[in-house]
Amino acid sequence: MSVRTRFAPSPTGRLHLGNARTALFNWLFARKHGGKFIVRIEDTDRERSTKEFEKNILEDLRWLGMEWDEGPDVGGGKGPYRQSERLSIYKSYAARLVDNGLAYNCYCTKERLEGLRKTQLAKGNPPRYDGMCRSLASSDAPANIEPAIRFRVPEREIRFIDGVHGELSFDTSAFGDFVIVGSDAIASYNFAVVVDDALMEITHVIRGDDHLSNTPRQILLFDALGLKAPSFSHIPLVLGKNKLPLSKRDRNGSIGELRGEGFLPTAIVNSVARLGWSPEEGLLGLDELASAFALEDLSNSPAVFDVERLKSFNREAIKRMDDDALFASLGLIARDGLFKEAVLEIRANASTIPELKDIINSVTGSIPYDEDALAVLSEPYARAVLTAFSDEAYTSGLLDGTAYNRIIAEVKKKTGEKGQRLFLPIRYALTGKKEGVELVNILKLIGKIEALKRIKRFI
């Protein structure tokens, strides 16, 4: 059997971490088994679906490194790959169920259904259709109402083996006859996904626990249509720091937002991969993750997204970046070898590219001096340290690591100062801050002329 997985987003919002994890696990499973990964757009929600969101989702997937074998923009032999372009297919399969007595026309109005729901809830019962139109003769059908089509749910127990949760069972008495095609001729999610998964020959479905309640309905439809159901694996939802499920309308959890904040794709992929799975430690490539991936290793407990862990992965990703790519992302041109050397050394201080840029700008840009800095710099001992440093730096060539160590040793010898009384005046004079980038790297970034200029202000 050739493995075929799919990621089927609804273009009603940006790609968020939970959906990115679903896409990633399906991609990893397909690649692990030499199979195909399909992207299908479930855009039948006409009010909220937009082409812009579809474009964003596809761009974010590609940016993360997950290319697909079949999809709306690459084609394939099982298309179309947008549900809005498959309505006639759903209509024909729904008609087959009606002809076989497995589905029926329902003329109940929205008002009646809403009243039924409220009555059932008021009695403490779960809302379900009462079967009013189940035995309605066609001759008794109202002429002025466009019917929906409901599936005739049989009384039975549904059992299946879930790849994450193990054996599960559901009794169909828990839900009534459900709509498979609305009165607007739009197929319901459960019906469309069954027809699509069957015709696209999907073998494995990996998705969130929020779809677990849909699975028994979908298995009933597979059986009624005489179609082969895929293997199902349901993964617990990803929670935010508030312990609530992440939503595609939650900006803080969207891939686009993280991308804009300077997080790199490999860091996001590694962080997402560990939401309910525990591959080996360290920053791993997609191929390494695919090689290690196994459904039986997935956790059945909810995973909480940890931004600090993401930052840790991003620091490692920045450290591994190609030097030219790093400078291009920073929008910098190396002025000299020492400047470049300093940037490459301080990149370990930053969690994101913008943060690294801010660190560099805070050193190379204009320097504000607050009251604490000015108080220290006005002390006689501070002026003595700065004078000695200026004299030694003036006679030195490039202010590299070797020169810096020699200068500091001479200043210490001349002034007798050490510890903060030695280093703090120099740091304050050069940066206006008490802490930050190592002094040797500050000198490499700003160069000898600028360093002497800043120091002489306080002598």
Torsion angle, CA of 388/389/392/396, rounded to 10 degrees? -170
Between 420-431 and 353-364, two packed helices, what is the crossing angle to 10 degrees? 100
Residues 195, 187: Cα–Cα separation, whole Å? 10
- Residues 201, 205, 211, 214, Cα dihedral to 10°: 40
Which residue do the tokens 């508030």 mark? 242
Q: How far apart are CA 444 and CA 429, in angstroms?
A: 15
Let me know: does 21 contact 268? Beta carbons within 8 Å: no
CA angle 218-248-263, nearest 5°?
Answer: 125
Asked if residue 151 lies in contact with residue 178, where contact means CB atoms within 8 angstroms, the answer is: yes
Our answer to whether residue 248 is catalytic in this structure is yes
Which of 248, 357, 448, 453 is catalytic? The answer is 248
C-alpha 256/C-alpha 317 separation (Å) is 18
Domain boundaries, the chain: 321-459
Signed CA dihedral, 262, 401, 424, 312: sign only:
positive
Residue 248's pLDDT is what? 52
Per DSSP, what are the bridge partners of residue 169? Answer: 159
**Residues in the chain where the model's pLDDT stays below 50:** none
Neighbours of 360 (CB within 10 A): 21
pLDDT at 334: 63
The pLDDT value given to residue 337: 87
The whole-number pLDDT of residue 449 equals 93
Residue tagged 């998964």 (tokens): 197
pLDDT for the residue 183: 93
Alpha-carbon separation of residue 184 from 175, 180, 352 (angstroms): 23, 11, 48
Nearest to 188 by CA among 197, 202, 198, 178: 178
> Quick one: which of 356, 354, 335 has its CA closest to 344?
356
> Per the structure block, which two tokens stand in for 77?
């032999």
Residue 126's Cα: distance from chain center in Å?
A: 34
Secondary structure letter of residue 289 according to DSSP: H
d(CA 120, CA 141): 25
- In sequence order, the 6+-apart residues with CB closer than 8 A to the CB of 273 are 21, 24, 28, 279, 284, 289
Instruction: Tell me which fold the domain 321-459 belongs to.
Output: Arc Repressor Mutant, subunit A (1.10.10)
